[in-house]
Amino acid sequence: MTIRSQLNQPGITVWGALSREGVLGTVFFDGAVDGNNYLNILHDVVVPQLRTRANFSELYFQKDGATPHYALLVRNYFDNIFPLHWIGRQGSIDWQPRSPDLTPMDLFFGGVMKNKVYERKPQTVDEMKEFITDVFMDIDSDCTLC
């Protein structure tokens, strides 16, 4: 008996942020994430949205040790945009990758997002993106949906 199934299911990589003011996102990546396309979303989407906040000059940007986040071109960008205000591997505030203090997005927010998205049983990649965007929009700054 042979069972045929697709080995590598289509995947989605989404970027989002969490702050005391709420969530920032969703930004979807096409294909694999590397330092170049991570820098592009930072430059084109994330930082312009953050600049609209009154406290931008006081903002601290915390990131994990993922390879694209650690790329030299990304670290140089952070040194220019967030001088002395970014937390991460070899950042202005150095922090160990995978520290439990560094991963609220992975340990809490990511779990909440997945639960709420998968409750809706997406059937296609486009549906998955729609559901992720909906859930991001539903979660407010004090996380009443969590």
Q: Is 146 inside any structural domain? A: no
The residue ranking higher by pLDDT, 141 or 138, is 138
Checking phi first, is residue 18 left (phi over 0); if not, alpha (psi -120 to 50) or beta? Answer: beta
For residue 16, the surrounding DSSP H or E stretch is strand 13-19
Distance CA 37, CA 86 (A): 19
Residues 92-130: tens digit of each pLDDT: 888 766 666 655 666 677 788 889 999 999 988 899 999
Q: Is 143 inside any structural domain? A: no
We report the CATH number of the domain holding residue 106 as 3.30.420.10
Residues 50-105: tens digit of each pLDDT: 999 888 999 999 887 788 988 999 999 999 999 999 988 888 888 766 666 655 66
The helix/strand/coil state of 40 is helix
Residue 98: what pLDDT? Answer: 62
33: which 2 tokens? 């994430």
Percent of the chain with pLDDT over 70: 80
Q: Is 8 inside any structural domain? A: no
Domain that holds residue 41: 13-138
Confidence of residue 42 (pLDDT cuts 50, 70, 90): very high
> What is the reported pTM?
0.78
Q: Please give the tally of structural domains in the chain.
A: 1
Residue 9: what pLDDT? Answer: 62
